[in-house]
Structure 1
Amino acid sequence: MTGFIPVNTPLLDGNEAEYLAECVRTGWISSEGPFIKRFEQEMARVAGRRHGVAVTNGSVALDIAVHALGLEPGDEVIIPTFTIISCAAAVVRAGLVPVGVDCDSATWNMTVEGVEAALTPRTRAIMLVHIYGLPVDLEPILALARKHNLEVIEDAAEMHGQTYRGAPCGSFGAVSTFSFYPNKHVTTGEGGMILTDDDALADRLQSVRNLCFQPQQRFIHEELGWNARMTNLQAALGVAQIEQLPRTVELKRRLGRLYDEHLEGVAGIRRPVARTNYADNIYWVYAIVLDDDVPFDGTEAMRRLGEKGIGTRPFFWCMHEQPVLRRMGFMLDESHPVAERIARRGFYLPSGLALTEDEIARSANALKEILA
């Protein structure tokens, strides 16, 4: 074994060091620095939005976005069960009720059929979450939301640079969110962004992420907010990363093509769908689902790959099976067999931007070996 291949290594070979040095040189390292506004404007431009509000991470972005919509306690929000806990947590923390829907077996995204079946008189919003590289098929779900007068929150955390029928992911719904964790196409180390086209909602989002300080009487508060401000240092990284986004998207798609070439015809696995009629895969991660006739699950596959020096990560665990949510009385009667299966039989291979062709080949060959 020639060395461990981590599941993700970011690429920081643009203007990151120069912009960080500028922050240090000028003393603008807090949330008041000029890179903040620049980053917000650039992300809004990339996503086709009027406003961007930078925050500390993608989970807080969801918390604030859901809170700012002003839904009533007990209102139901439809979410995919196959997603990260941040989505359900944002709903629960706002006093709302998460209702899960199953995912498509090919794209791993929520479907309009699932959303329609989950509608009740208490439904007030839909949280769209794009998974692993392909966006949700948005048009039919957005039409359903309009028909029933539902708010739409778009979680585009994994979709920097992706499009749906030519329109940027992050441009849909009343509000959308991004994450800038190191495994994202744009990273600030930690960080997130909330985007909207609504001027009044943008003002509210900016207030809520800044402790709801009042313009005239700063330390008198009419509402509780978050201290969720991004630093100028983080935003400087983000500006440099956005400058490289077109290249990043091409690198990711090249990663997907190379893995596909190495794994073409390999029995026992389902590889990511390369394209649908509304989007080409952006390969946020290169994900694998084991067929049912493979005599071990995703956990065992990851253990065997780890022994060969290949870093992996498991798929998301279903929201309706989360102990914390079940103890709180949520999603107790839900069953979503597709999500349950892929959560147990899915994992992803090294997928970072700094991954080399040799490392892709080694990772693919290791997978072939454990399947043999």
Structure 2
Amino acid sequence: MTEHHHDEAEALRQEILRLTQRYAEITSARPPFDPASSPVPVSGRVYGAQEVHNLVDASLEFWLTTGRFNDAFERRLAETVGARHALTCNSGSSANLLAISALCSPLLGDQALQRGDEVITCATGFPTTVNPIIQNGLVPVFVDVDIPTYNADPIAVAEAVTPRTRAIVLAHTLGNPFDLGAVMDVARRHNLHVVEDCCDALGAHYNGRPVGSFGTVATLSFYPAHHITTGEGGAVATNVNRIKRALESIRDWGRDCWCAPGRDNTCGRRFERKHGGLPEGYDHKYVYSHAGYNLKMTDLQAAVGLAQMDRLSDFITIRRRNYETLHNALRAFDDLLVLPQATPGSDPSWFGFPITLREEAGVKREALLRWLNGRRIGTRLLFGGNLTKQPYLMGRAWRTHGDLARSDTVMNRTFWVGVYPALDDAALGYVVDSIAAYFGRSV
């Protein structure tokens, strides 16, 4: 490209970005809430001009795999989570797969998980917290949930440990940290790995520290429903160099090479080593030390995520405020509803507002949800309910600790409504009024 063409291209780029910014300012504005017609979703994307600006900026470079935006995004994530390393990937589900697979890596030596090892996890939640345990030939051990924190019962976690236990894998449910003090104490006493599934909990803290900074590996999701979004996307974080290396390899086809996309011979010994049964000098770019996948994020997604990080603090503040608004208003229904509670010592980054119908309410959950749905109010169950009842677990190797009675309660009587940043006091008031109307009460 000549200097003249370079200047012309740069001028066009700046004009495109200026127009993009203006377009996004106009189209991303939300109309005020109207109780007669507006929906109240449980979640959704919240974005503005900077996200669209970054997305177009990255697209003009046409660097479609990971690149400069992704490098910056990973640095911001590591700082936020309080970890030495953060690596992006294509979803939170893939992040969980990477986390568990990395703990099985031979790079960990005698600390690596082996097929048949037991992994303690919660019986309630989202399946992809648990699925990588099964996919790696490990045995999930399901413990009961605590209500009203909706996290794993820490006493049950401690009691479930056997000589075969090698790890604990738990999610911070709906942004409420699980009891990290108790769980990490169990892990230290028994030399267990801990995976923190933070997919619903970016920005939550426990005893002043960010979730994701306690365990061996942490996972994140950037699906549009979550605290920040890249469309599809996720990340893993760790402080352990060997685990970072395993995560990187498994994410990048399982290759032994650590060159960045578009780079060659970073090690300076690309054709000078012997690997496994391969011939001497076999190209290091095609040496595979793990059973891996291509789980990378694109730079276009990372560009959006980088802009979203600037909004994260405000997003979390609004989520907490919305949680408090619902909690304060729904206290009047304490005889009918079990309201959520933050784990002691925690500062949640609320993803949703879970509610459990009391037996004495005499109400079928589905009847209430149909009522709310008819008023355009979105609801969700606590994901898979009691996961041991899910059809895909039939015939697989797993065991339970205890009777999982509270997990059955979640399966039958729990649901949640949204607190995401696009919901204002008018929308939340409509939710409360609608619940009150169903029970024939006034607020």
> TM-score with structure 1 length normalisation?
0.95
SS at match of 1:132: helix
The structure-2 alpha-carbon separation of the partners of 1:332 and 1:246, relative to structure 1 and needing over 3 Å to count, comes to closer
Task: Give the length in aligned residue pairs.
Answer: 370
Q: Any stretches of 5+ residues in structure 2 without a counterpart?
A: 1-35, 105-112, 258-269, 271-282
Q: Which residue of 2 aligns with 1:39?
A: 73
Shift of 1:83: 1.4
Q: Which residue of 2 aligns with 1:277?
A: 344
Q: Which residue of 1 aligns with 2:355?
A: 288
1:202-244 CA-to-partner distances (Å, cap 9, x unmatched) read: 1221111010234332234343201100011111111111111
Q: Which residue of 1 aligns with 2:328?
A: 261
C-alpha distance in structure 2 between counterparts of 1:5 and 1:14, whole Å = 23
Q: Which has the larger radius of gyration?
A: 2
Q: Which residue of 1 aligns with 2:222?
A: 180
Percent identical among aligned pairs is 32
Q: 1:268, 1:371 within 8 Å by CA — same for their partners in 2?
A: no
Shift of 1:180: 0.9
Q: Which residue of 2 aligns with 1:351?
A: 419
Shift of 1:46: 0.2
Select 2:90's aligned residue among 52, 56, 73.
56
C-alpha distance in structure 2 between counterparts of 1:37 and 1:51, whole Å = 11
Shift of 1:85: 0.4
Q: 2:318, 2:420 within 8 Å by CA — same for their partners in 1?
A: no
Q: In the TM superposition, what are the counterparts of 1:90-109 in structure 2 within 5 Å? A: 90-109=132-151
**Partner amino acid for 2:174?**
Y
Q: Which residue of 2 aligns with 1:297?
A: 364
Does 2:406 correspond to 1:326?
no
Q: 1:180, 1:190 within 8 Å by CA — same for their partners in 2?
A: yes
**Partner amino acid for 1:104?**
D
Shift of 1:287: 1.6
Q: 2:249, 2:290 within 8 Å by CA — same for their partners in 1?
A: no
The structure-2 alpha-carbon separation of the partners of 1:368 and 1:284, relative to structure 1 and needing over 3 Å to count, comes to same
Q: 1:310, 1:350 within 8 Å by CA — same for their partners in 2?
A: no
C-alpha distance in structure 1 between counterparts of 2:400 and 2:193, whole Å = 24
SS at match of 2:332: coil
Q: 1:14, 1:241 within 8 Å by CA — same for their partners in 2?
A: no
Select 1:363's aligned residue among 402, 412, 431.
431
Shift of 1:37: 1.1
The structure-2 alpha-carbon separation of the partners of 1:14 and 1:241, relative to structure 1 and needing over 3 Å to count, comes to farther
Does 2:237 correspond to 1:195?
yes
C-alpha distance in structure 2 between counterparts of 1:351 and 1:276, whole Å = 18
C-alpha distance in structure 2 between counterparts of 1:177 and 1:41, whole Å = 15
SS at match of 1:15: helix
C-alpha distance in structure 1 between counterparts of 2:87 and 2:199, whole Å = 14
Shift of 1:276: 4.4
Q: Any stretches of 5+ residues in structure 1 without a counterpart?
A: none
Q: Which residue of 2 aligns with 1:4?
A: 39
SS at match of 1:189: coil
C-alpha distance in structure 2 between counterparts of 1:194 and 1:136, whole Å = 18
C-alpha distance in structure 2 between counterparts of 1:349 and 1:144, whole Å = 33
1:183-202 CA-to-partner distances (Å, cap 9, x unmatched) read: 11121111111000111211
Select 2:60's aligned residue among 25, 36, 58.
25
**Partner amino acid for 1:278?**
G
Shift of 1:337: 0.7
C-alpha distance in structure 1 between counterparts of 2:348 and 2:212, whole Å = 16
Q: 1:39, 1:238 within 8 Å by CA — same for their partners in 2?
A: yes
Q: 1:209, 1:226 within 8 Å by CA — same for their partners in 2?
A: yes
Q: 2:337, 2:358 within 8 Å by CA — same for their partners in 1?
A: yes
Q: 1:88, 1:319 within 8 Å by CA — same for their partners in 2?
A: no
The structure-2 alpha-carbon separation of the partners of 1:356 and 1:95, relative to structure 1 and needing over 3 Å to count, comes to same
